[in-house]
Every structure is written in C-alpha cells, then in structure tokens.
Amino acid sequence: MLSVPAKAEEAKLQRATYDVYAGGFHVVKANLDIDLRKSNRYKLELGAHTRGFIGKVAPWEGTFTTTGWYDTKTGAASPEMHKSWAHWKDEDEIKEYTYNRDGTFREYRVTDEHSDREVREADPSLSDNTTDVMTAALNIMNTIPANGKCEGTSEVFDGKRRFKMMFLDEGQTELKQSRYNIYSGTASKCVVQVEPMGGDWHKNPRGWMSIQEQGRQNGKMPTIWMAQITEGAPAVPVKIMVRSNYGALVMHMTRYENGGNVILAEKQADDE
C-alpha cells in the first residue's frame, strides 16, 4: 500500500498532479493543492489545462480556488470564498462566491468581457444554505480516513442553478500501481451524481449533466477512487473514470508531494 510518512506540519500540505487520458491520448493535465497549514483554515486550489492536439483545437485552462474555515477536531469545512477563473481561446471569465461565517451566502460577482467584478443578483431560493463544489469534496475526503466510506450529499449554487451533489459509496477496492498511476492499495470507490434542484437548467443536458447522462447510458456513472496517502491528512482522489459516447476518460494520479516526499509515476517521469 502506498503511504507517505509525515511530520504533523507536513501532513497539512498535500500536492497532487493528474493526467487525463482519452483514447490513449494525454489530453488534460491538472494539479490539486490541499493546504491546511493555517490554524482553523483551509485552502484548496485546482488548476487544469488541455494539452497536445486537444490543447491546440480546444485551448482551455482554468483555476478553481476555495478558502474557508476548518474544524481541526471534526474535519468539517465551510467556505468563505470560492473563485473560478476560466480562459477559453481569447476570453476570460471569473466568478467569485463569498459566504458568511455562519454558512449563509453573501455575494456573487462576475468578471467577463462585459463587466468587472459586477455583483449579480442571487436568488435566495437557489443560494441559501449552499456550499461550493470543492468544499463538498473536502468534507468527503475527511470522512474516508475515519470510516473508509466515500459518501455524503451537499447542495451547491453555481450562479444560475442549485443542485444536489451526491457521493454514493460503492465499497473499497484494491488498485495496482502502473506506469500511469502511482497509487497502489486500498481505495474507497464512489459514484458522483448531480441532481438539479432549481434555476436555469437546459432542456438538453450540458456540461457535467451531459457527461453524467452519457455515463448512465453507457453503463458506468462518473466514478472516483479516493485514498488516504499521508497519515493525519485528508484522503485524496487517486483515480477518476468517466465514460462518454466517445469512449472512456481516465484521470491518473502521476505525482504526489508532501513536504520533502515526492513520488512520481514512471510515465510522469518520462514526460518531464
């Protein structure tokens, strides 16, 4: 089983790199930071970009950052700010969501070609008592070391819609290390499912809903495997699989860093 010994302070910062393959081609690279170094605070940052042929025909990159309050005893997290930045071809779009300490929603701002941090009206029926996607995931990652189960539900507001984000536990499984993935050992397997709860949803599924429904039609919903690699730290995603009408997309963990400990997949080492 892959495990990384760490001092108490080292366990508070985990960095992972992921490579996404479609049809055997490396199409996306992503990086995830889980930072718990500040007392009773957390910061999550996920960056990703398309690469190779896909990067040329569909040049996209994005960064998603969340900061918030963290209960070191229970592992419960609640957001203060969530920010997404996306660059598509020559256009940038920035969305900022802020929350109060008591968990209530505060404000939603948008920066794009038409506006600069413009406050957008948020329907309370869509935004009240919601969280962001990254905090929802962190709360699940904190439960896995305790009970080995990848399960839980959160309600999320994305600026136009409200949805239920569900992690459905499918038990534990054994993964083997490969040239593409560094992880070997027990992982908690779960299906990630989104259920609309109100707002501006398209009649025909788009985005994640389109991916989810394609997976349903092809017999495999979007699935994520998570495992605790460093003792005293949250679990991290070690593999993700999505099945679309164009084939399977698989995300492998190719690098893991904790303090001075660095582990590289053979394929990652080849590419550097």
What pLDDT, in 10s, does the model give residues 229-265? 999 899 999 999 998 777 889 999 999 999 778 888 8
C-alpha 83/C-alpha 65 separation (Å) is: 5
Structure confidence at residue 127 (pLDDT): 97
What pLDDT, in 10s, does the model give residues 34-70? 999 999 999 999 999 999 988 999 999 999 999 999 9
**Is-contact 76 42, C-beta < 8 A?**
no
Structure confidence at residue 213 (pLDDT): 81
Structure confidence at residue 268 (pLDDT): 62
| Mean pLDDT of the 196-223 span | 81
Q: Which long-range contacts (CB under 8 A, 24 or more apart) does 35-39 make?
A: 36/12, 36/70, 36/72, 36/233, 36/234, 37/9, 37/12, 37/13, 39/72
State what percent of residues in the chain have pLDDT above 90.
73
Mean pLDDT score of the chain, rounded to an integer?
A: 91
More confident residue, 73 or 189: 189
The beta-strand segments (E) located in the chain are: 13-22, 25-35, 41-50, 60-70, 77-88, 91-99, 105-112, 115-119, 152-157, 161-175, 185-199, 223-227, 236-244, 247-258, 261-264
| Mean pLDDT of the 185-193 span | 96
| Mean pLDDT of the 91-106 span | 96
| Mean pLDDT of the 105-116 span | 95
Q: Judge whether residue 269 has pLDDT over 90.
A: no
C-alpha 82/C-alpha 79 separation (Å) is: 7
State both tokens at 43: 């910061």
C-alpha 242/C-alpha 238 separation (Å) is: 14
What pLDDT, in 10s, does the model give residues 131-166? 999 999 999 999 999 999 999 999 999 999 999 999
Structure confidence at residue 162 (pLDDT): 96
The domain segmentation of the chain, as residue ranges, is 10-60+129-271
| Mean pLDDT of the 28-32 span | 97
Q: Judge whether residue 272 has pLDDT over 70.
A: no
Residue 24 contacts by C-beta under 8 Å, 6 or more apart in sequence? Answer: none
Q: Is 40 left (phi over 0), alpha (psi -120 to 50) or beta?
A: left
Structure confidence at residue 166 (pLDDT): 96
Of 122, 99, 129, nearest to 199 by C-alpha is 122
Q: Judge whether residue 209 has pLDDT over 60.
A: yes
Structure confidence at residue 101 (pLDDT): 93
Q: How confident is the model at residue 208 (pLDDT cuts 50, 70, 90)?
A: confident
Structure confidence at residue 189 (pLDDT): 97
Q: How confident is the model at residue 202 (pLDDT cuts 50, 70, 90)?
A: confident
